[in-house]
Structure 1
Amino acid sequence: MAPSQTPFGPLDFQLVLLRRMADHQPVLVYDARQELGVPLAAMREANKRWQAMVRSPRSRGAAQRYRSVLGEPSATARRRIGDLECDALQWPVPLWPDLRFEVLTASGGAVWNEWLVRAPGAPAPVLRTADDLRPWSCTVDEVARAFAPARPMEGTAPTRWRLAFTPPGGRPAVADFTWGLLQDVQPAGTTR
């Protein structure tokens, strides 16, 4: 079968995650593609197919799309966030064995959030200073907790988040995340 006719699966999804990260961390993405054994063209094709699925008028709901691509979640849990209750669905991501891809859904199935989080039981990195914030080392939630009170900011594109924070004894900074995984930290006021 031609690549576009093969079922879209977990490997393709990892390539979609990498495609968005390539803007911030091209060397890490290159290394990850080498680990996966796929050329740049395969990453571009996977992203093209994903975008077509997301934008298709016949598209399934986002939660169903993730199930069709990744299979049944490895873990599900009911979670309360403030006054709202949601279902948290998680799938393993072989590139990052200590992380899970998490989708938060409302009771009707609408997706509220989709990102990488630390796997249950996996040790989180110790984050004390800005020097501890290395690309791909931590998640949005981990940085927000380590440097509270962090302030969420609008991301620069879909699937991107930003946090403004001040590390102890440091200067105000902004952390950029793609799919919930740290990509870069810049001094506050610096535009990327």
Structure 2
Amino acid sequence: MVPMPSGKRPAGPFTPLDFQLVLLRRMADHNPDLVEDARRTLGVSIADMREANKRWQAMVRSSRARPAAARYRSVLGEPESTAARRIGDLDCEAWQWPVPLWSDLRFEVLVGPNGQVWNEWLVRAPGAEGPELRTLADLGPWSCTVDEAARAFAPARPLEGTAPTRWGLAFTAPDARGVPHEVVAEFAWGLLQRTRVGE
């Protein structure tokens, strides 16, 4: 991706670049340094990130807002892939788009039969090698997705997020010496942001 000059960009259609800034804005509370590096990679300013988030929130909350599934198609274009998926007794479609900031991840939206969006988060790209999650040391910021952590440290208990697009997991994970610890992991848009370790 060619970086754009820093500074306020002219208003125009909401683009996939703008959407990446929305993802970063939600992560900035936990990992400002990582977000700063990513923002520089994209060649945009803090003002650009704030403006993109402001525009996104306006779209989501507008009384004339289009359905979430249509909004994602409008912003991100046609999905890179679509696949039928069954969750429990319910059928849905998984739509995935590439995310240039994280080439081994995809942004996934689960869409029910009535067009309602059930879930929206980052997942590992098909065919991409996921991380080896064995100990606490492997759980660094942005190292894994919700489902990867849940599988690696099963059984994991889902926790209510502190805000929209945030998730939590509680599980037990060993340290480097093999001593188990209770862990609460916090995710934004499905990507690990931080962990809190108990005894």
TM over 0.5: yes
Query: Equivalent residue of 1:19, what SS?
Result: helix
* Matching residue of 2:148: 142
Question: Which range is displaced more, 169-178 or 15-24?
Answer: 169-178
Question: Which range is displaced more, 180-189 or 168-177?
Answer: 180-189
Using the alignment, how far apart are the partners of 2:13 and 2:198 within structure 1? Answer: 43
Q: What per-residue deviation string (whole Å, max 9, x for no partner) do you get for residues 106-132 of structure 1?
A: 101000000000000000000000110
Letter in 2 for 1:84: L
Query: Equivalent residue of 2:180, what SS?
Result: coil
* Matching residue of 2:81: 75
* Matching residue of 2:192: 182
> Is the Cα contact below 8 Å between 1:73 and 1:89 reproduced in 2?
yes
Percent identity of paired positions between Structure 1 and Structure 2: 72
Using the alignment, how far apart are the partners of 1:179 and 1:13 within structure 2? Answer: 12
Using the alignment, how far apart are the partners of 2:25 and 2:145 within structure 1? Answer: 18
Using the alignment, how far apart are the partners of 2:93 and 2:9 within structure 1? Answer: 33
What's the TM-score once normalised by structure 2's chain length? 0.92
* Matching residue of 1:13: 19
Letter in 2 for 1:99: L
Using the alignment, how far apart are the partners of 2:134 and 2:78 within structure 1? Answer: 36
Residue 25 (str. 1) matches residue 35 (str. 2) = no
Aligned length: 188
State the shift of 1:5 in Å: 3.1
* Matching residue of 2:166: 160
Using the alignment, how far apart are the partners of 2:198 and 2:17 within structure 1? Answer: 36
Letter in 2 for 1:61: P
Residue 52 (str. 1) matches residue 62 (str. 2) = no
Residue 113 (structure 1) aligned to one of 116, 119, 143: 119
State the shift of 1:162 in Å: 0.3
Q: Which runs of 5+ in 2 are unaligned?
A: 1-7
Using the alignment, how far apart are the partners of 1:104 and 1:148 within structure 2? Answer: 23
* Matching residue of 1:84: 90
State the shift of 1:148 in Å: 0.0
What's the TM-score once normalised by structure 1's chain length? 0.95
State the shift of 1:94 in Å: 0.2
Using the alignment, how far apart are the partners of 1:183 and 1:36 within structure 2? Answer: 20
Using the alignment, how far apart are the partners of 1:161 and 1:24 within structure 2? Answer: 13
* Matching residue of 2:4: none
RMSD over aligned Cα, in angstroms? 1.2
Q: Which runs of 5+ in 1 are unaligned?
A: none
